[in-house]
Chains A and B, each alone.
Chain A
Amino acid sequence: MLKRRTLAAAALAALLLPMAASAADPVPLGAVEVLTGPTAAYGTAAKAGLDLALEAINGKGVLGGRKLSLTVEDSAGTKDGAINAMRKLIGRDKVVALIGPTLSNEMFAAGPVANARGIPTIGTSTTANGITDIGPFIFRTAMPEADVIPVTMRKAAARGAKTIALMYANDDAFSKSGFEVMQKAAATAGLQIVATESFASKDTDFSAQLTKIKALKPDAIGISALVEPVSGVLLQARQLGFGAETQFVGGNGSNSPKLAAIAGAAAEGMLVGSPWFVAKPDAANQAFVAAFQSKYGKAPDQFAAQAYDTLFILAEAIDRAGEADPAKIRDALTKTEHTGALGPFRFGENRSPAATEGVVVLELHDGAFRIAP
């Protein structure tokens, strides 16, 4: 009886124990992305970027010829799914570093697991406040709104705006925190805030707020909301007679092709900041866009670009660390510098992007975004 039990335990152990890592084995990495469910578009885009980067990196390998093996697990966009996927990658696949999860809420739930276990984890699309406060092993290459909006505001000021009115949706955390960032950024850029008006995300009538703002004749109007209400505000503003002399400024919510689709000509001239733009002319970005085009037959988006750069940054950190050890990779990440599709990149004190040089201000022109002149 005892013998049989020992045998069973040994068999189970043999099944679960990975073979002792040798110098030639691939370096195990994991990624948690939303691949199914309503938010799958973000995760699948990120996975495409990761796969493309993996091919390029494994061409020459890391640590003198070792390949990376990347296991991508689906979180289905849920908190539990993200935690389960992350625990599976750490406990079963023995990954030394993680990329993801896709959504900020997933990171808040799953990040503490990886942090407690000492596995460095890099969010590529988690823009919410407080992500890297989870712990010293949590990084992000996603640029928080607090870094993007000030660049947009400076552009508006450089175009000659002196006064600004702010509008925001007060029932949505993303919109509200974006508004707070806009308030600060406008003041720093030297813009005088003449009015602050709020609405609800599902509102369709903004005429009361816009009429009040029109009487104050601001040079610019900043709107922090998701793309549907922003489009509604723009359409009504044009009806009320706001012309090209008023500079409209949006947050990340307006950084969507849906803006032109819904608002049409009313969105003409709106300024939006973005960490990346498909037509950014530098060589690294153009090489990425061309490689993505030839592999997938379509243009990449922001999420693919962020994931693509992140795997390169991680590979460089592994080389810098000298061995596939989570704690050493963590320390190496803080010193890694990389120039990729997003522009020059390194992590700052708080393990978020240090510099905002990669931010481009886009202008909606003839139904499509272009780099603002």
Chain B
Amino acid sequence: MAWFDDLLFTYQNLAVALGVNGLLALSMYVVLAVGQLSLGQAAFMGLGAYSSALMSLQLGWPFWAVLPLSCVVPVLFALAVGGPTLRLNGVYLAIATIGLGEVLRGVYLNVDVLGGAMGLSGIPEAAPLWLIYAMLALAVLVLWQVGKSGIGRAMEAMRLDETAALSMGVNIRRYRLATLCASAVLAGLAGALSAHSTDFIGPNDFGFEPAVTILSFALLGGIGSPFAPVLGAWLLTLLPEVLRPLADVRLVMNGAVIVVAVLFLPRGLLAWRMPRHVRPGRAA
């Protein structure tokens, strides 16, 4: 089965990227689901990646202990910054969260134990492929169940009309903070899994550009259901590799596909919304 080994070897990194980017797309999805344009996912991912890498490299902890702990730092960070930033809305929130990402990048660059601009290398490749996909499947399942529940209805109400949701008794502040924390958990997991499957992380992996890429996953896929952003992430991750034979015009084609998708499918590739029962006795 030498050819199969070669096939696996060739596309191993792509398979990892599909799983990790799927988690990142979900991390974006949970904040977009309550109508918050919060772009801190790359920063959360960086915190997960750096904290897990340090636990592995400096403390030598086993991966099964590192993985759950890698969500702790991003969540603490989300709780700390959630208070002030969640008073903001729309582009102001977007700018503030991008700023936080840049602050963290400055920290990674200047703190010696974090490796500075050289990043951290020699991280053990401890994350098996099945674990990445198990995490992704679990995340989709949980978000699907939450989306179908009353919480999901409240979230959708917030997205469509915040004032109306407030008047219906939805605790908007609490929902915002909770979704930010959920976003931090998902991105932190993605960061730890990615750091433990590529050997090396650097400050620029978690700056402005990845933040925008993660947003584009969710925008391309749509936010009607948890499947949509994952589909968007997979398409955007696969496209550059599928188009590799085109050589020079590869990125042009990549861009063209995205532009066409956005122009003709403004609600995302998967505009379909998750089904909800209308309870008897209530008007839909």
- Chain A residues packing against B (C-beta within 8 Å): 12-13, 16-17, 35-37, 73-74, 76, 79-81, 83-84, 87-88, 90-92, 94, 105, 108-109, 112-113, 117, 128-130, 134, 171-174, 176
Contact = CB atoms under 8 A, between A and B. Distances in A.
B116 A91 contact: no
A91 B250 contact: no
B121 A36 contact: no
B6 A91 contact: yes
A87 B12 contact: yes
User: Chain A contact residues: over half helix, strand or loop, or mixed?
Assistant: helix
Contact of B200 (A94, A109, A176): A109
28 contacts: A16-B7, A17-B3, A36-B251, A74-B247, A74-B250, A76-B251, A79-B200, A79-B205, A83-B13, A83-B198, A87-B9, A87-B10, A87-B11, A88-B10, A90-B10, A91-B9, A91-B10, A91-B11, A108-B121, A109-B199, A109-B200, A112-B199, A128-B118, A129-B118, A134-B121, A172-B117, A173-B117, A176-B116
Contact of B119 (A13, A36, A83, A105): A105
A87 B200 contact: no
A309 to B, nearest CB: 25
B240 interface: yes
Q: Which 4 pairs from chain A and chain B are nearest by CB? A: A173-B117, A91-B10, A91-B9, A109-B200
Interface residues of B, number: 30
A79 B250 CA distance: 17
Nearest to A90: B9
B171 interface: no
Given A16-B7, A87-B9, A171 B200 contact: no
B251 A108 contact: no
Interface in B85-129: 109-110, 116-119, 121
Contacts of B241: 84
A174 B109 CA distance: 11
A112 B248 CA distance: 27
Contact of A117 (B9, B247, B250): B9
Contact of B3 (A13, A79, A130): A13
B184 to A, nearest CB: 23
Given A35-B248, A36-B250, A108-B121, A79 B7 contact: no
Nearest to B125: A112
B273 interface: no
